[in-house]
Structure 1
Amino acid sequence: MAEVVLNEVVKTYGNIYAVNHVSLTVADGEFVALVGPSGCGKTTTLSLIAGLNEISGGEIHIDGRLVNDLDPKDRDIAMVFQNYALYPNKTVFKNLAFPLQMRKLSKSDIEAKVLSAARVLDITHLLERKPRELSGGQQQRVALGRALVRDPRVFLMDEPLSNLDAKLRVQMRTELKRFHQDLQATVVYVTHDQLEAVTMADKMAVMHGGFLQQYDSPKNVFDNPVNMFVASFVGSPAMSLVPLEAVSHGGAVALRSPEGWELPLSPRNSRKALGASTNKVVLGARHSTVKLHREEAPGSVPGVVYTVEPTGDITFVQVFLGDAIVIVSLDPSITVHPDQKVWIEFDQDKIHLFDGATEMALATA
């Protein structure tokens, strides 16, 4: 397998930047997920690596070789698409064999490679079937197999699970993760589903508006988002964000809401808030770090229940704090009702603070 390096990569369409000076390194054998909302530039970035789009600026290296001007067939990559792109009139065996026939391999080499890939993906029993006789998950395995037989240096996958139903997606996530572990393959994987990225990837590249927002392990992206976009995108449910105003009382700092309540900050969080470019500070909290009280408690702030969403083992409650909504997860045995007045308690060791003007995470000075 091979290392993939993007250095200040740019793709423009007229005056529009689809990819805006993106730099990242995918290590040899690493699984990297490009994630973000529709139009963020992730699929365009993958197409640039593949050579399907012409690069406007910067450099792309695969295995130490500059590939900017190389055709896709010369980059030693294999792509897996969301629509499988199988030949409907060919058997599974012939679908797998086709790219090898194009490379003019011998009949014995083709058979050996096809059977080897089929064993890895557990599709040996499907080799004589046509694509229309296969389930969605089986077709996806065949598409993977067609990429695998080429023995590429890099696998590029563009939302390969998006056409599958929810149950099959979970199953195929497991299959893809095992595929990567067994082969130690270098994989660049595009998805709009951040849960896929969190469960499968070694690293996540979070993109928005053509820019690379954060590139790190899923755990670090989840635990330490660099800005409000990443905080609101990664996590299910997303992090709650509450716009507030920092006010000083002597040496202490509190966050004040437009409704007038104040949340005193710990010394560490006070130092963070004082580092903001203005007095506008946004408080961020994950649902699992927030406590809901039915009566006023020390350090809590008042809110009103908006919706209650039972999911079986967890109940998610959306609470209005002024105009902002905070999501709290509760044990199903705890009952609350819409429009009920409640009090919210934030864990000072687990809240996030963001600069309300720049939207960047505030660090301890």
Structure 2
Amino acid sequence: MAQVILKDVVKNYGDVYAVNHVSLTVEDGEFVALVGPSGCGKTTTLNLVAGLIPMSGGTVSIGDRDVTDLDPKDRDIAMVFQNYALYPQKSVYKNLAFPLQMRKLPKEEIDKRVQAAAKTLDIVHLLERKPRELSGGQQQRVALGRALVREPRAFLMDEPLSNLDAKLRVQMRSEIKRFHQDLNATIIYVTHDQLEAVTMSDKMAVMNGGFLQQYDSPANVFANPVNMFVASFVGSPAMSLVPLTAASKDGRVVLTGPEGWEMPLSDANGRKALSAKSSKVVLGGRHSTIKVHKSQVPGSVPGKVYTVEPTGDVTFAQVFVSGAVVNVSVAPTFQLRPDEPVFLEFDQDRMHLFDGETEMALRLQ
């Protein structure tokens, strides 16, 4: 396998930038997920790495080669698409063998690679079947196998699980993760499903509007989002964001809601809030870090329950706080009703604060 380096990559159509000066390095054997909403530029970025569309600027290197001007067939990569792209009239064996036959490899070498790939993906018993005789998950394994037999330097996967039902998606997530671990493969994986990205990847590249917003491990992206977009996109349910006003009062920094309620901040959070460009500060909190109370406790803020969603082992609720929707979770035994007044207590050690003007995370200097 090989390292993949994107340096200042650009793809524009006139004044519209689909990919806007993206730079990132995928290390040898690393699984990197490109994630973001529809139209963010993730698939275009993958296609630029593959050479399927011409670049407007920047360079792409695979291993020690600059492949920017090479045709896709010369880049030594393999792609797996969401629609499998199998030949319906060919058996599984012939589907796997086809890319090797096109390379005019010896018959013995073709058979060796096909059998090895089939064994790795547990599809040896399917080799004589036609694609129409396979389930969606089996067809996706065949598509992976067809990429695997080529022994490429990197695998590029474009939403390969989007056509599967929910149960199969969970199963195939595990299959692809094991595929990566067993082969130590370099994989660039495009998905709009941030849960796939979090559970499968070594690193996540979060994109929006053609820009790379954050590139880090899933744990760091989740725990330390660089801006409000990343905070609200990564996580399920998403991080809740409440626009407030920060001010000093009686030697402490407090956040104030439009209705006049106040939340005193810890010393560390107070210093963060005062580093904002203005008094506008956005409070962020994940559902697991917010306590729900039926009566006011010190530091809690008032809200009103909007919806209640029991899921069995946990109950999720949406609570209106100063016009913003806050996602919370409680034990199934904790009864909540729509329109019920409640008080929310944000964990001072795990809350997030963002600059209301720049939307960037506020950090201690």
Same fold (TM over 0.5): yes
2: distance between equivalents of 1:359 and 1:343? 26
Q: Give 2:21's aligned amino acid.
A: H
**Structure 1 residues 115-152: Cα deviation after superposition (integer angstroms, max 9, x where no partner):** 00000000000000000000000000000000000000
**Structure 1 residues 68-110: Cα deviation after superposition (integer angstroms, max 9, x where no partner):** 1100000000000000000000000000000000000111111
Could you tell me which residue of structure 1 aligns to residue 58 of structure 2? Answer: 58
Could you tell me which residue of structure 2 aligns to residue 306 of structure 1? Answer: 306
Aligned to 1:288, what secondary structure does the other structure show? helix
**Structure 1 residues 269-326: Cα deviation after superposition (integer angstroms, max 9, x where no partner):** 0000010001000000000000000011111111110000001111001111120011
Q: Give 2:185's aligned amino acid.
A: A
Could you tell me which residue of structure 2 aligns to residue 89 of structure 1? Answer: 89
1: distance between equivalents of 2:153 and 2:116? 17
Alignment of 1:1-365 (within 5 A): 1-365=1-365
Q: Give 1:17's aligned amino acid.
A: Y
| 1:227 CA displacement | 0.1
2: distance between equivalents of 1:359 and 1:322? 19
Aligned to 2:328, what secondary structure does the other structure show? strand
Q: Give 1:241's aligned amino acid.
A: L
Normalising by structure 2, we get a TM-score of: 0.99
Normalising by structure 1, we get a TM-score of: 0.99
| 1:251 CA displacement | 2.8
**Structure 1 residues 243-268: Cα deviation after superposition (integer angstroms, max 9, x where no partner):** 00001114311000111101100000
Give the gaps of 5 or more residues in structure 2.
Answer: none
Aligned to 1:236, what secondary structure does the other structure show? coil
* Percent of residue pairs bearing the same amino acid type: 75
Name segments (4+ residues, structure 1) moved above 6 Å.
none
Say what the alpha-carbon RMSD is for the aligned residues. Answer: 0.5
1: distance between equivalents of 2:221 and 2:63? 27
Aligned to 2:89, what secondary structure does the other structure show? coil
Q: Give 1:274's aligned amino acid.
A: L
1: distance between equivalents of 2:275 and 2:251? 14
2: distance between equivalents of 1:251 and 1:177? 52
| 1:187 CA displacement | 0.1
Query: Number of matched residues?
Result: 365
Aligned to 2:363, what secondary structure does the other structure show? coil
1: distance between equivalents of 2:70 and 2:9? 16
2: distance between equivalents of 1:12 and 1:203? 26
